[in-house]
């Protein structure tokens, strides 16, 4: 009998090892193996120069400074939103976010709106960054491990996926929250918030979105 090829033997060994891993339950599930589009594949929805493609609702607190969208309130402490002209349904949204001190901001998606909180909740008086706000903060929609990941005063990358009835948030590359609710199903604009009731400043840059 001819000697077995070392290459064939190696391939058979690799296949056998994979099968053993699958039987043992250590093979990652399909959902875990599936990768979201990398940042470079997400089209920019902010041109880095002006607010073309966006509209202000509320106080005129929005501007572009050094390639970033800046939401900065004043002593009037009014509320203001910055919305995309375009509506999105299933979507992946990414942005770098920077803030210092006590702020209350967020990213809005869909209709009716579901919000990913950035900063301190006016109602709870504590930081709820990356939690979902729906008129309250559902326990199952609260973020985990944010304290270890968030870099105050530095740029933090926020990634949000809205797909069907499931909403997922990553902070600096790590998944921190997931929320499932069928209510927020209709397409809507992407919104950025300056909350009323305090003087604050928040910055967003490299803002991208890909309709799924």
pLDDT tens profile 58-104: 999 999 999 999 999 999 999 999 999 999 999 999 999 999 899 99
What is this structure's pTM? 0.83
pLDDT at 15: 38
Helix (H) or strand (E) holding 180: strand 174-180
pLDDT tens profile 142-184: 999 999 999 999 999 999 999 999 999 999 999 999 999 999 9
Mean of the pLDDT values across residues 197-205?
97
pLDDT at 36: 80
Q: How far is 113 from 192, CA to CA, in rounded Å?
A: 12
Q: How far is 98 from 26, CA to CA, in rounded Å?
A: 38
The average confidence (pLDDT) of the chain is 88
Mean of the pLDDT values across residues 107-136?
96
* Higher local confidence (pLDDT), 179 or 31: 179
Asked whether the beta carbons of 175 and 124 are under 8 A apart, the reply is: no
């Amino acid at each position: 009998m001819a000697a077995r090829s070392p290459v064939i033997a190696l391939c058979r060994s690799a296949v056998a090892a994979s099968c053993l891993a699958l039987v043992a339950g250590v093979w990652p599930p399909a959902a875990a193996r599936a990768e979201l589009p990398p940042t470079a594949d997400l089209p920019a929805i902010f041109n880095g120069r002006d607010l073309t493609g966006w509209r202000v609702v509320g106080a005129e607190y929005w501007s572009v400074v050094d390639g970033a969208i800046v939401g900065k309130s004043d002593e009037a402490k009014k509320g203001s939103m910055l919305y995309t002209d375009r509506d999105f349904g299933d979507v992946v949204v990414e942005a770098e976010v920077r803030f210092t001190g006590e702020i209350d901001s967020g990213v809005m998606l869909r209709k009716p709106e579901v919000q990913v909180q950035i900063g301190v909740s006016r109602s709870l008086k504590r930081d709820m960054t990356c939690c979902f706000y729906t008129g309250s903060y559902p326990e199952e929609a609260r973020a985990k491990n944010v304290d270890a990941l968030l870099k105050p005063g530095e740029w933090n990358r926020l990634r949000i996926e809205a797909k069907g009835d499931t909403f997922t948030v990553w902070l600096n590359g790590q998944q921190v929250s997931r929320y499932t609710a069928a209510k927020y199903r209709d397409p809507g604009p992407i919104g950025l918030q300056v909350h009323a009731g305090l003087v604050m400043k928040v910055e967003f840059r490299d803002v991208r979105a890909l309709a799924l």
